Amino acid sequence: MRIGIVNDMVTATEALRRIVATAPEHQVVWTAVNGAEAVRMCAADLPDLVLMDLIMPEMDGVEATRRIMAETPCPILIVTSSVEDQAARVFAAMGHGALDAIDTPALGSADPQWAARPLLAKIRALNGLTGGVRPAEGRQTAPRRRSGAPLIAIGASAGGPAALAMILETLPRDFPAAIAIVQHIDERFAAGMAGWLAMHSAVPVRIAAEGAVPQAGTALLAGTSDHMVAKAGGRLGYTQRPAEAIYRPSIDVFFDSLCAHWSGEIVGVLLTGMGSDGARGLKALRDAGHHTIAQDRATSAVYGMPKAAAALSAAVEILPLDGIAPALAGLFTQGHRKGGSRWTC
């Protein structure tokens, strides 16, 4: 990968440069000392990945991320001194399209190679996120009448935190369906994201524990780098398989598990994100007779996953972000169990 480094500390920039140099498949193509310079560098020489610090003079990493994703979109990984301490800024940057976040490797570590391993692993994982969507496999599941609890299943990636916050704060407090969310995020930051979303949400938000039973009016967020899945008995859990999945946790794996194990009504929602995760799973939900929604191009911070879903005709509706919560509320208040084709097949 061709990598740009954005950091106002010379020692941090040099350390990151040395780490990247240890992997011969990567190269540093430029460095920038603040967000404004990074915006200019991306316009002049767009890299495959930007390692973006958060706190810098002139323009911080949040605003730089917003500008880059609006003007010259490319994958951005937040690399900052403490993701936990900068959680609000991290989620703001992810809301503008940053893919993930990681702590800056310890500069004074007694074992520099060991300290560099998490960052190199993150870079390798992000290297696969820009692949195209594969054709649908033609799996047609016979629609069946639903008898269990209704569930909103949401998948999101780059730009997802802000999109999720807007949806959750717009839903009515007495929303009659359960909500389950898969957001591409490192498991170390999932609890912080659940707390951040809860501050913006009209319904409670918490991490989905192994064996959790989704409840109406509550949102459960996937909380590990393993894949969240539906299991027998209307419970959620986690699995490491498929181990080779680029996306962790995988939206496709979650949506597929719902097709196999969830007996109630499902509305699948695929939001902003890079790559194609969730597109084939959303198609599987639609083929199984469930209602499906994808975010539109104009309101997506990164129009990758929703675009892939549209290419597969996986979405019954393609909606702007501010139209998704009202559509969900309408489905479960006005249209819920009317006996029309939307719910009974």
Q: Is 118 exposed, middle or buried (0-12, 13-18, 19+ CB in 10 A)?
A: middle
CA 153 – CA 266 distance, rounded (Å): 7
250 tagged catalytic: no
For residue 140 the two structure tokens come to 């047609």
Marked catalytic residue, from 60, 186, 252, 277:
277
Give me the sheet containing 178-183, strands edge to edge: 205-207, 219-221, 178-183, 148-156, 264-270, 291-295, 317-319
> Rounded to whole angstroms, how far apart are CA atoms 181 and 219?
7
Sign of the Cα pseudo-torsion (63, 275, 295, 184, in order) = negative
The three-state secondary structure class of 93 is helix
How wide is the angle at C-alpha 250 spanned by C-alphas 320 and 129, nearest 5°?
Answer: 75
> Which is the catalytic residue, given 96, 157, 226, 300?
157
The tokens for 137 are: 């496999």
Q: Which of 26, 184, 227, 291 is catalytic?
A: 184
Amino acid at 220: L
323 CB neighbour count, 10 Å cutoff = 16
Q: Are 255 and 139 in contact (CB under 8 A)?
A: no
109 catalytic? Reply is no
Angle at 203 between CA 330 and CA 299, to 5 degrees: 60
Strands 2-6 and 49-52: parallel
Residue 184 known to be catalytic: yes
**How far is Cα 283 from Cα 315, in angstroms, rounded to an integer?**
7
For Cα atoms 192, 198, 203, give the angle at the middle one, nearest 5 degrees: 150
Active-site residue list: 157, 184, 277
